Amino acid sequence: MKFFRSKIDDNQVEDLKDQILNGRIIDWSPISNKNAGIKFEDLKYILEYWGNKFDWKKQEEDLNSFTQHKTKINNTEVHFLHIKSGFKNSVPLMLIHGWPGSIFEFLDLVPLLTNPKTENKKSMIPFDLIIPSLPNVGYSFSIDQKPKDLKQISSIFIKLMKQIGYKNYFVQGGDLGSFIASIMAIKDPKNILGIHINFLPLPRGLDKTPNNKLEEQFYIKLKNWMHFETGYQAIQGTKPFTIAHALNSSPIALCSYISEKFFAWTDNKGKLFETINIDRMLANISLYWFTGCIGASFWPYYIRHKTDWPIDKDCPILIPMGYSEFPEELFSPPKTLADQFYKNIIYWQKHNKGGHFAAMEQPEILASDINSFVKKII
């Protein structure tokens, strides 16, 4: 295990700016509609900001203000943040990002979990945070190592916690991170005290006959989402490197592909950058660009398309689980369905604002939910 600091060469930063400002985009608005992808004017605004105002060095300084390490587990390089609260009663918590996210998702959540405000110290639990980059993403990515699927990543993260020295701990995740957290709960129930998730994955093979109105509404929403919003899964699951070559050749293409998900998956009401910090989003996209990891980040989708679903209905989760339901999540199964797989749901909180990128959209709410869940156990 060795200390790590992000240090992108100034020439790389300038080259990125040049490509952004000198690239070409075409206005498709005369023949497109709101459901055809990112709007021309939105992409144009982001690119102008990225090329002229965005400060990568500032974002890099924010990242480097936290202790980072790299280690090797199962012949896989793993980059992670290890942030200790400084309190004696702190609780170990792993935060796991998804796709198309990165460690930058969590930077604004860190102080809320590690250093609760003075007036809340009696009611808020201080956490020691372990925030890994998925082995296929960011500084965990290496062109020399084979990408990993979700089951492999879960095993690596279990070993990471043991290597750091944590026997018992909690896990939190959204998107692919919620899959990984759930798989970890199945693999290591003796050491993981509980998992909190803000995206609710279910195994395939559950009874899909609606038993109530909420289940009926969920299946309708799921069907619509599968029909209109899963084009990215199709290409990432079948020909990931074809699109990866295109995205790695142009930061404009990469930005269009990733930022579209922030527009589509957040509770933004047409005003995305009143919902999330544009600099954090662009730091996330820049990290994908500088490391060239986008193709490897698709790997879990590719493996999922070719093999069994990563969670199995015959292996239910028995340890405590907590769930935060945000209204603009991709889809949210009702608790009656979740109960079929998560057998020990002790916390379920429904909110009236927020979406898929909860740590970026509503960090205070997410931090409060994590605290409330953990308090029920310790």
Number of residues that make up the chain: 378
Q: What is the CA radius of gyration of the chain?
A: 20
Catalytic pick among 267, 342, 356, 369: 356
DSSP for 114-182 reads HS--GGGTTTS--EEEEEEPPTTSGGG--TTS----HHHHHHHHHHHHHHHT-SSEEEEE-THHHHHHH
Write out the H or E segment, with its range, that includes residue 281.
helix 278-291
Do 345 and 338 form a contact (C-beta atoms < 8 A)?
yes
> 257: closest CA among 273, 268, 246?
246
Cα separation, 8 vs 64, in Å, equals 12
- Please, are residues 326 and 358 in contact by the beta-carbon 8 Å criterion? yes
Q: Which of 139, 301, 302, 323 is catalytic?
A: 301
Point out the catalytic residue in the list 175, 188, 267, 369: 175
- d(Cα 224, Cα 331) in Å, to the nearest integer? 10
Our answer to whether residue 175 is catalytic in this structure is yes
Q: Minimal CA–CA distance to 375: which of 82, 68, 93?
A: 93
Q: How far apart are CA 36 and CA 39, in angstroms?
A: 8
Q: What is the largest CA-CA distance in the chain?
A: 61
8 Å CB contact between 173 and 306: no
- What separation in angstroms does the CA of 353 have from each of 197, 271, 326, 342, 367? 16, 14, 6, 25, 15
Which of 369, 375, 378 is closest to 112 using CA atoms? 369
Report the C-alpha gap between 26 and 318 in whole angstroms: 52
Distance CA 204, CA 377 (A): 29
Active site residues: 175, 301, 356
